[in-house]
Each structure stands twice: as C-alpha cells, then as structure tokens.
Copies of this chain bind each other. A is one copy, B any other.
C-alpha cells in the first residue's frame, strides 16, 4: 500500500502543478492577455493537455489508483473519498480513445472564439457545425461511459452534480413548471415605474469600483488571498485557499450589474477560501459541486445582497458615492428597484424570479439533443418556443436567443441545470441557517462574518470530501426539496 500511495502522490504533485499552470493561463486569458496572444498560448496549452493526459493515463498511476481503490476500507476517510473520485475519473482514460479526447479538447479550446464571432454577427449557421461536433462527441462520450446504472444524459448531468440525473431534475423542474411558471406569468404582467434618475443616470465607473472595493470589506473577503479584477463576464477562479480571485464588470448606465456580480462572485470565492487548507495539495480542494457552489453565490447575491436588511446598513455608503442619482430615493424603493422581476431574454441579466426558467429552457434542449430527438439546426426554433412557454417572451434574434451563452462552445453540456439547482439549494440552506440565528439581524449588524462562519462550518470546510447530497444533509438535516425555493420566491415576489 505504501508504495501505491507514493506513486499516487508523486503523480498528483505533478498534476496539481499542471492544473495550476492551466488555471493561470485561463485567468490571464480572461482578464488581460492581448488579443493575438491566443495562437502562441494555444500551442503551450496543447503541450499541457498532452502531458496531463500522459500522467493521468500512466499505467503505474492507474494501477496505484485501482489498487488503492481495492483497499479503500483501510484508507483514511478523506483519502478514501479522493481515491473514489479518482477511480471514477479513470473511466475517461480507460474508455475514451486518447486521440478523440485530445482532438475534442483542442476543438473546445478554439470553439469559444467561433461562438463569440457567430454571436457577434448573429449568425447561428456559423456556429452550428462546431456545435454539432461538440454534441456528437458528447453522445459518443455517453456511449463510452455507459454502465448499467448510468446512461445517456444522466452521465453528463452526474459529471457536474453527483447523484443528480434526469429523474431528480425532472422532479425539480416539474415543480417549477407547475408552480412557478404560472406565478411568474401572473406577477410579471405589470411592473413598477421607477424615476428616471434610477433608470437613465450615468453612474461613473470609478465610483462603482469604489463601491465594489467597499463590498470586499463588508463580506470580509481576504485581500491577502484574493484579488478583484475586471473581465467581460464575471467569474471566480480559485486554485488554493491562499489564492482565489474574482472578477466583476462595470457598466456606466447601470450600477446594479457590478454590485451583484461582485457579491455573487464573492459567494463563490469565500467558499473556496474557507475550505480546509489541508486539502490544498490534494484533489479534494474546492467546492464539492457546481450546484453547491452556486448555492453560495446565489445566497450571497439574492438572499443577503438584495435584502432590505443589507441595504439598511449599506445604502448610505451608496448614496454618498451617487448623491445625485439617488437623491430622494428611499432605501425601500432602491430595494424594490434591485428586485424588479420581468420577462427578459438574457439569462445572465435575468432577475431572481425568472432565472431558473431560463435554465429550464436549456435543460429541455440538452435532454433532447443528447437523446437525438433534436437536431442542432433546429435549435433556434425550439429555443423560441420554450422561451415563450416558460418565460413568456420570445427572442427576435439568435444573438439574444440560442447564441447568448458560451457554455456549449466549451463542451459543457449538463452544466446549466446546476445553476437552477443552486438557487433551490440556497433557499433550503437559508431556512436552516435562519433557525440557528436570525439572518436579517446579522445583516443589520453588518456581521457577515457570522454568516461566513456558519457556511464554513456546515459547507465550506469539507471541500470535496462530501457529495452534494451529504452537504445538504449536514447543512439542513433534510434531503433536497424544491418546495423551499418555490415558497421563498412566492413569498418574496407576492406583493
């Protein structure tokens, strides 16, 4: 056993280093690398992908994992989880031909540029052939990895959220379809009109930056272990508990986007920063799943950040930075303004109420694509139909429709549903935390440290040693139940 552990740890050390290089290349690319650097970087990325593949497929490493998996009952519990995960991941190198896998990685590393151009030109045809290849590979992947227990789209879903397949998601989305869709269509029939100062002002970017910087302190985001930067699309990029970086974006005509992007990404970032540091050099560092990750960002953004309790403390600072724009706007109106719900086309700009319905469109489409019941070329039409049914509005262009998201260009099929799941997890977790202490009181006392500490104890510290279902049980004492989410939304938006 000793020897297998030695082999495993030696290879892991290299793989962690290569993951780090890949992490840094991607951070650089998304935040500042000059446009034409892509050609040179792609070549280095290919070497990295090849080296990582060779390490992952190294027979000695594979043997070490298999032997350790056989002896898993003798392993320390954390290490046992790590070996189980790695054993599961072996599927890929064992069952997928190397050439196909590498060709696919190269394809997806270049597809985002093709997608961006197609989106920019509102030309679905220009992206369709690439997307077809990606869907074809995903279908082949599913065939390679099929087992008695797991088949079809379930395999992809399980990759992003362990233990969640079509059965679980159908249950979840059917609840939304039955209860949320009619509610949303009703609530969004009318909307409040806000003063032009709120809707038509210019909000200087340097002041917005100052407020984002202020928010870092409000959420106790450790500047010695992270930075806030700008990127086209906000994201969190963590590599260890000593280095977890976030980005936001600023729009002069709208301060809301930057504020809630910053808070959202801090939710993700604090999760990664509060993992137990003992996992930093293992494959157990980081959030356990996309859904649990999203529960942390959505809770920060929507449940904490969009609450009256939160703004009762921080609105004065915002008014200080934007005295003209917020003149005579009471905090209550500001809170209604940042919580306005409406039928909209773009997922990343969607409000809290309608967000998960945008996801439902993507879930239905992915399910049809992988089962072969929908062709890539018929996507735009299907998109419009589903948007009409679930969100009550249809896009006129593909740019505002099926081309809006980058995810599929990166091969991420099965990913979207976790976004909706995250919001639903968050509602259930919020309820549980609120039984331990009054969250509104903590917000009114500007004590987000208390909330961070609760999340650390019940969720973050475990990093990847628990499954999403286990985390939910630890944090709430219950299995996943979407009713918390529906109740939360109905209570909040039923005015």
A residues contacting B by CB (< 8 A) are 13-14, 16-17, 20-21, 24-25, 27-28, 32-41, 43-44, 47-48, 51, 223-227, 229, 239-240, 242-243, 245, 280-281
Kindly report which residue of chain B lies nearest to residue A16, judged by CB atoms.
B44
A224 to B40 CA separation, bound complex (whole angstroms): 13
Can you show 8 pairs from A to B with CB atoms below 8 A apart?
A20-B44, A32-B229, A34-B224, A34-B226, A34-B242, A36-B225, A40-B243, A40-B280
Contacts of A13 in B (CB 8 A): 43, 47
Kindly report which residue of chain B lies nearest to residue A43, judged by CB atoms.
B281
Select A240's contact among B37, B226, B245, B280, beta carbons within 8 Å.
B37
Kindly report which residue of chain B lies nearest to residue A14, judged by CB atoms.
B47
A24 to B27 CA separation, bound complex (whole angstroms): 11
B21 contacts A44, CB within 8 Å?
Answer: yes
B239 contacts A34, CB within 8 Å?
Answer: no
A229 to B27 CA separation, bound complex (whole angstroms): 16
Q: Which of A32, A38, A223 counts the most B-chain CB atoms under 10 A from its CB?
A: A32
A38 to B37 CA separation, bound complex (whole angstroms): 26
Shortest Cβ gap from A226 to chain B (Å)? 6
B37 contacts A243, CB within 8 Å?
Answer: yes
Contacts of A43 in B (CB 8 A): 13, 16-17, 281
A32 contacts B227, CB within 8 Å?
Answer: yes
Known pairs A17-B47, A20-B40, A40-B280; list 18 more (Cβ under 8 Å).
A13-B43, A13-B47, A20-B44, A21-B21, A21-B44, A24-B25, A24-B28, A32-B227, A33-B227, A35-B224, A36-B224, A36-B242, A37-B225, A37-B240, A37-B243, A40-B239, A40-B242, A43-B281
How many copies of this chain are found per oligomer? 2
A242 contacts B47, CB within 8 Å?
Answer: no
Shortest Cβ gap from A45 to chain B (Å)? 8
Kindly report which residue of chain B lies nearest to residue A244, judged by CB atoms.
B34
A180 to B93 CA separation, bound complex (whole angstroms): 68
A44 to B20 CA separation, bound complex (whole angstroms): 7
Select A242's contact among B21, B37, B240, beta carbons within 8 Å.
B37
A229 to B229 CA separation, bound complex (whole angstroms): 13
A36 to B240 CA separation, bound complex (whole angstroms): 10
Select A34's contact among B28, B33, B225, beta carbons within 8 Å.
B225
Select A17's contact among B37, B48, B240, B280, beta carbons within 8 Å.
B48
Contacts of A40 in B (CB 8 A): 20, 239-240, 242-243, 280
Q: Which of A13, A28, A47, A239 counts the most B-chain CB atoms under 10 A from its CB?
A: A47
Kindly report which residue of chain B lies nearest to residue A19, judged by CB atoms.
B44
Contacts of A225 in B (CB 8 A): 34-37
A318 to B51 CA separation, bound complex (whole angstroms): 51
Kindly report which residue of chain B lies nearest to residue A39, judged by CB atoms.
B242
Contacts of A242 in B (CB 8 A): 34, 36-40
Kindly report which residue of chain B lies nearest to residue A45, judged by CB atoms.
B17
Shortest Cβ gap from A219 to chain B (Å)? 16
Contacts of A245 in B (CB 8 A): 34
A243 contacts B33, CB within 8 Å?
Answer: yes
A280 to B36 CA separation, bound complex (whole angstroms): 13
A48 to B16 CA separation, bound complex (whole angstroms): 11
A398 to B44 CA separation, bound complex (whole angstroms): 43
Contacts of A28 in B (CB 8 A): 24, 27-28
Contacts of A36 in B (CB 8 A): 224-225, 242-243
Shortest Cβ gap from A382 to chain B (Å)? 38
A223 to B34 CA separation, bound complex (whole angstroms): 7
| Closest CB pairs A-B (n = 4) | A17-B47, A37-B243, A40-B240, A21-B21
